[in-house]
Chain A
Amino acid sequence: MKKIKKSDFPGMTNIFGLGLRSTHYSYLEQRPATAAGWFEIISENYFRTRGRPRKTLELIREDYPVSCHGVSLSIASFQKFDWNYLKDLKAFYDEIQPFQVSDHLCFTGLSNNNLHNLLPFAYNRENLIHLNDRIDQLQNYFGRTFAFENLSAYFDYNNSTMTEWDFISELARTTECDLLLDLNNIFVNSFNHKFNARDFINAIDFSKVAELHFAGYSNRDGFYFDTHSNPLYPELIELYKFVLEKKCDIPVLYEWDEDIPAFDILEEQIKILKSVREQHKQ
């Protein structure tokens, strides 16, 4: 399986990246120097357009490594893959040459009724076997490794027989996929489902973690909601310190998707994370 590492991108000396969003096109089209070492895009927002999003991406790609993060693969679905979607995605990867490709460990709906949400499934043996099979099919078709992200989920199933972290660890062990560890999602779930986020992190084999995600959740009537609409919380900085004790060269991304602020506010977030890492290295 083809693994593209950040060492394949000699320019990538800065492991801290930002999500590319249309709000910042006008600013980034001027090609300013930024605090970001790379950008991540939502693949579905770019792979079928030939308009401004694509043009801006092409410009960004000239200056930065790019990672492609999907939201519609629906890897945990029990329906057939949408092969037209996969074909277009493959052609897009060939053109953009991302250093990383990823999606989520979830299903997103049915082929005739896409909920456009990242939906959880039961953590049990049956689904583990199912996902193993789907990930194999997918990676064979693309000829490359995917990283899969852990979700924010607002319920668990009565027929789950494993914890989320045991399921993910087992999946990473039994397939050739990588993991994209979203620390915000772990934290949100740890609050909503009352577990210790460090237990999750302790269970993970960090040699399989290809990327870390950070974002700011919202407190909505007593539960935490994964809105990507706030700056970095201190609890996430603490979790990052905990991760750094295990591995410290994993590419880090900050995402902001609602009430998106000016670009310099996003840069602030990765500067904070960068300084946390610097302090850890000392």
Chain B
Amino acid sequence: MKQKDFNQIFVTVVASRSAAPVELLAQIKNGPVLSARRALEVYQEDYEARLTEALKNTYRGINAIIGDEDFFILSQDYINTHPSSSSDLDDYGHLLSLHLKDHQLSKDYIFLPELAFFEWNFREVFHQEQIPGLSPEGLMACLENDRDMLRLCSSLRLLHFNFLITSLYALKDEEDKENELIYEFPEYVLMYKNGVMVKTITLSKNQFEILKKLLAPASLQHCLQNAPATVTPDEIQTLFTILGTERLLLKLN
């Protein structure tokens, strides 16, 4: 068998963790310590272990909530249907949120797809470069000028969930996970780079709606003029304090 053909079959057998066909085994020498079949199993076990570990690293929150046993089942299901095509193992798992939407586990843990989405965004923001935006003074100046177009920094995510995802995510650091958490409330989250770390802040719905307008470049005056009717001065004040002190808005030239 040509090496090229061997590679194709070998990769399929390792990734599917299926029994090796006779023609593949015939290419592999029975070693003095490991038989051909056992050697192949070593690669199959290692493949599963590496990809599971990569998922665990990214989805610590999910792992903490569902436990190692269920996480292992989830990983196996995901690995079976999602081969890796990236050169970096740390990239593995970007479709887990989608995968969870139809997964049995999401019947018991209804928030899992959203938690996975949160954790993947967390990972993405972690790897982003932090480009400091406008200072509080710069922001004040833009408030007075309708022609200054602003947008949100690229290392920032504006996320809307149907559950209290940041509280669920925080469970990974808590000793007693049995404490009952009432999580069936919507949550609006601002996630951004803070130094080398990732920070999250829960926003009100009104604050979220104002910021949404800055996903496309817009002037601050436009955002405020089109703010929800129920927004309070306190909500605006708090929002702009965060945006200024954390330098989260960029001015377009």
**CB-based contact B85/A155 at 8 Å:** no
> Interface size for chain A: under 10, 10 to 19, 20 to 34, or 35 or more residues?
35 or more
Query: Contacts of B15 on A, CB cut-off 8 Å?
Result: 109, 113, 115
**CB-based contact B47/A72 at 8 Å:** no
Q: What 1/0 flags go to B2-28 for Cβ under 8 Å of A?
A: 111011101110110000000000111
Q: What 1/0 flags go to A26-67 for Cβ under 8 Å of B?
A: 000000000000000000110011111101100000000000
Chain A residue nearest to B14 (CB atoms) is A115
Chain B residue nearest to A110 (CB atoms) is B11
Known contacts A113-B85, A119-B10, A155-B34, then 7 further A-B pairs from the complex at CB < 8 Å, ordered by chain A residue: A114-B86, A117-B46, A119-B43, A155-B36, A157-B27, A158-B26, A193-B33
**CB-based contact B7/A155 at 8 Å:** no
- A223 interface hit (Cβ, 8 Å): yes
Query: Contacts of A72 on B, CB cut-off 8 Å?
Result: 87-88
**CB-based contact B4/A51 at 8 Å:** no
- A77 interface hit (Cβ, 8 Å): yes
**CB-based contact B127/A113 at 8 Å:** no
Alpha-carbon distance between A46 and B26 when the two chains are bound, in angstroms: 40
Partner of A55, one of B12, B32, B40, B196: B196
Alpha-carbon distance between A194 and B92 when the two chains are bound, in angstroms: 36
Query: Contacts of A243 on B, CB cut-off 8 Å?
Result: none
Query: Contacts of A112 on B, CB cut-off 8 Å?
Result: 83, 85
* Contacts of B11-69 to chain A: CB distance below 8 A: 11-12, 14-15, 26-29, 31-34, 36, 39-40, 42-43, 46-47, 50-51, 54
Q: What 1/0 flags go to B108-129 for Cβ under 8 Å of A?
A: 0000000000000000001111
A–B complex contacts, Cβ < 8 Å, 18 sampled: A44-B88, A44-B90, A85-B87, A109-B15, A109-B84, A111-B85, A113-B11, A113-B83, A116-B47, A116-B92, A117-B14, A119-B43, A126-B3, A155-B29, A155-B34, A156-B31, A157-B27, A192-B33
Chain A residue nearest to B32 (CB atoms) is A194
- A78 interface hit (Cβ, 8 Å): yes
**CB-based contact A116/B51 at 8 Å:** yes
- A121 interface hit (Cβ, 8 Å): yes
**CB-based contact A114/B83 at 8 Å:** yes
A residues adjacent to B (C-beta < 8 A): 44-45, 48-53, 55-56, 72, 76-78, 82, 85, 107, 109-117, 119, 121-122, 126-127, 130, 154-160, 191-194, 222-223, 225
Chain A residue nearest to B83 (CB atoms) is A113
Partner of A50, one of B12, B54, B85, B128: B128
- B170 interface hit (Cβ, 8 Å): no
**CB-based contact A51/B126 at 8 Å:** yes
Partner of B3, one of A78, A82, A115, A193: A78
